[in-house]
Chains A and B, each alone.
Chain A
């Protein structure tokens, strides 16, 4: 029995190899005609359904719900959805409820662009909210600009993004601000002069902040004794950290995202490096403390928002968020809540779902009161707003100080 089967397999294989490419297209269609016909019907239904939905203002939101940056993405959507609920609860926009179409870029390069094309050509959105990271927004922004669809990113901080065109806006501060705050904090508060810069060369965010740190620090009496690079996705940073240890710095700048930052902090402490690390908003995730454990203690990072902020507006937001999601909002939730609201109010002021009018309304946003501070859009379509410096102690995040722009 077994012999027969194996014997059959060999002859079969040989015949198949001879046939590679030999099967004509016509034959293929004839053999699969039923399947092809079904496929046609299904795609026709899809097309029909996507053309005929009539609803309120459509906003496309693109972020990273899965993959390496998923905790960011999940928070961001929760923040944005809270804003949608707020608006829809009070009558919606232009008399109709908002339709927020959320798509996931999987934290993968190239996906965001595909999603943007879908938003523009298939969903016909009035505006795009996102992406979350600078690198992904860089993919989306040129497409939005070319299609003249306004794009507002609530969290991409790289400088170059809003230079892409007149339809590209952001509601957060930019990398030079983060870098300046980090460097100033190290100089004034930690009295550190010999610094090491650890840069994630794969992330525009990390590169942008690193440049700002370098220029501020060297202009104000500090010194970068070594600039060391790594790539996101790595899990073993001992090679780089061995070099760091040899330099004996006063401070180590780590403008990284939490996945790598947590492992770097952990491995650094294991190698006996006790120097404080100073990071940026990329650290802001519960996963950082979970993975780094005790190694996270005694380090600092800058952020857009602190849930411990005593202002009434923040308190109300934190309560509303907790009631719905049973979690404390992180900066991404707050930023996207603000970003989504800012965009919705721009639509309201525009009084129309026309992209051109929404663009003009966005450009004229002044002193928009959000939970992450008062937001004004400047002539470069960037937001100027305050930031905070946080520290981690016993796994808890505490606010050290607030920083004005």
Chain B
């Protein structure tokens, strides 16, 4: 019985970690879908999301008084969640704008160039974002304000789930549903799917490809920002280089799920998160970062298109 609870416990830890990777991986995969290029600055958008929340929280704190509650009660839950939700929505909006600007300034002028140029530019943008943040806001880790009270969820017996972990999992599910609706039910979503299939035909049909690409960047960046806020609620220490490793792992997650495939990215994120947790649980914490890359090697060797990816000639 104890064994079973421990397995469930580790799975919950893995799913909450994996949710974060999934949210970041979606941005990689969507941008790849429409532009066929890897936006290596995406991990830093996640970092900027956390910093937006850090800078915005004091403004909202006048009304919501973050940190005033130590526990969730039926009376204050809605109030707390609306405060945290507002910070999150505004940070997502800020990062969406940043994402669109990055595409407009750094990537669009290079769109007709060899793909390698824009790939290297993406690495440059990543370094720029990391260093400008260190320069403007300082390199030392900052304590993220407590948007929601973090404590163990009552009534689960020996299973320890924190409110912050629950928030990550629930918010991720919500965001995935919203994303699904946008991609499958709106005209913009239709245009995104069309663009990923055939950009030329898409523009013949009267789609403004530039607008669709900007929208894709906005959507991906907003999801990364949400991931940044959610992670900071859970482990409230943020620094300008925090996007490096999660960014790369989320990239692996996107490749694992099949790059360009949206459900694949979510699935890949969860798998990487659970694998990482299991590796630590069985006593190899030094392999925590290695496992994602081991997975990458295996997947590239045996199924380069990923779990849910389709074989396309162009990718080979």
Contacts and interface: CB of A to CB of B under 8 A. Distances in A.
14 contacts: A2-B209, A3-B200, A8-B112, A10-B200, A66-B241, A67-B239, A236-B277, A239-B281, A267-B235, A271-B160, A272-B152, A291-B143, A291-B236, A293-B143
Nearest to B244: A233
Given A17-B114, A233-B289, A262-B237, 20 more contacts: A2-B203, A5-B112, A7-B200, A8-B112, A9-B111, A66-B139, A66-B241, A67-B241, A71-B140, A231-B285, A231-B289, A235-B235, A235-B237, A239-B10, A239-B285, A266-B236, A270-B151, A287-B141, A290-B142, A291-B236
A270 B152 contact: yes
Contacts of A25: none
A202 interface: yes
B219 interface: no
Interface in A284-304: 287, 290-291, 293
Contacts of B6: 242
B9 interface: yes
B195 to A, nearest CB: 10
A201 B285 contact: yes
B156 interface: no
Contacts of B112: 5, 8-9, 12
B14 to A, nearest CB: 9
B162 A74 contact: no
Contact of A6 (B114, B152, B199, B240): B199
B288 A231 contact: yes
A122 interface: no
Interface of A: 2-3, 5-10, 12-13, 16-17, 65-68, 70-71, 74, 201-202, 229-231, 233-236, 238-240, 242, 259, 262-263, 266-267, 270-272, 287, 290-291, 293
Given A231-B289, A263-B235, A239 B200 contact: no
B9 A242 contact: yes
A291 B13 contact: no
A355 to B, nearest CB: 32
Interface residues of B, number: 45
Nearest to A199: B285
The listed residue with most B CB atoms (<10 A of its CB), out of A17, A66, A272, is: A66
Nearest to A262: B237
Contacts of B237: 235, 259, 262-263, 287, 291
A239 B13 contact: yes
Contact of B235 (A3, A65, A236, A240): A236
A326 to B, nearest CB: 15
A243 to B, nearest CB: 8
B286 interface: yes
Nearest to B277: A239
Nearest to B130: A66
Interface of B: 6, 9-10, 13, 17, 111-115, 134, 138-143, 146, 150-152, 160, 162, 199-200, 203-204, 208-209, 231, 234-237, 239-241, 245, 277, 280-281, 285-286, 288-289
A256 B160 CA distance: 25
A241 to B, nearest CB: 9
A147 to B, nearest CB: 30
Given A6-B200, A291-B141, A16 B114 contact: yes
Contact of A240 (B141, B203, B285): B285
A202 B286 CA distance: 8
A3 B286 contact: no
A3 B203 CA distance: 6
A135 to B, nearest CB: 14
Contacts of B150: 270
B35 to A, nearest CB: 11
A3 to B, nearest CB: 5
Given A9-B111, A9-B112, A287 B200 contact: no
Contacts of A290: 142-143
Contacts of B277: 236, 239
A19 B280 CA distance: 46
Nearest to A290: B143
Contact of B139 (A16, A70, A229, A266): A70
